[in-house]
Amino acid sequence: ELSSGINAEYGGEGAASEGDVHAAMNMAATLSCPTLFICRNNGYAISTPTQDQYAGDGIAVRAIGYGMRCVRIDGNDVFAVYAGIKAARALALEQQCPVLIELMTYRVGHHSTSDDSTAYRSIDEVNYWNKEDSPVGRLAQYLSTRGLWSKEQEDSYGKECRKEIMSAFSRAETERGPNPLWVFDDVYDTRSEQLSEQREELREHLEKYGENYSLDKFMPAE
């Protein structure tokens, strides 16, 4: 029976170096699974640049070794991404096969709040990509040249968004945080035995050492 839907897997070029990714692509190909493997190649796996991730021609070409279809797309082009993903999805459904998609882009921001990317790349490099090849900037320019967007609209919308975000921050700061036990509730539709055991261990730990965690700042579990 043919599948009426697809699976989608998202990861970066760093994640593509993990063994699980290779196993998943091989199984998807041999089992004819309609799956999109979407790789966002943004130049860095935390602090590891692409030249230290692979010596070959990126990620997309790996699909050939697994008998999969593949496509490389300009990840900073909104329309190219939409068209490429749409075509890949149609192919995956029609052929009941996996497709590897490599989106070429650049990570302007830090990897996380604990990351200082200036330790492994220059500010000039970041500024170049942010100014010359930003997906947001390219889309804004496209809309502006067609009279669909303007600098005045962007400035006004930016102020409106900032006001809305800061208002949401202010409201959130007055709310109690989510209960720690809730971290186990949205992983699977039905909680597994292992997760139930872990949840119970955490409940017992918090019951015993709760005074060390300021639990009054969190919502009740039930």
Output the DSSP codes for 16-27: GGSHHHHHHHHH
Determine contact, residues 13/39, Cβ cutoff 8 Å: yes
Q: Please, what is the Cα angle at 147 between 144 and 150, to 5 degrees? A: 50
Give the Cα separation of 12 and 84 in Å (integer): 17
Query: Which pLDDT band, with edges at 50, 70 and 90, does 222 fall under?
Result: confident
Mean pLDDT of all residues in 7-28: 95
The residue with tokens 């999969």 is 68
Measured in whole angstroms, how far is the alpha carbon of residue 60 from the centre of its chain? 18
- Residues serving a catalytic function are 107, 111, 120
Identify which has the larger pLDDT, 115 or 4: 115
**Residue 135 burial (CB count, 10 A):** 16
Query: Which pLDDT band, with edges at 50, 70 and 90, does 221 fall under?
Result: confident
N-terminal to C-terminal alpha carbon distance within the chain:
42
pTM: 0.81
Provide, rounded to the nearest whole percent, the portion of the chain with pLDDT above 90.
93
The residue with tokens 């170049």 is 128
Give the Cα separation of 208 and 173 in Å (integer): 27
- Pairing relation of β-strands 44-45 and 35-41? unpaired
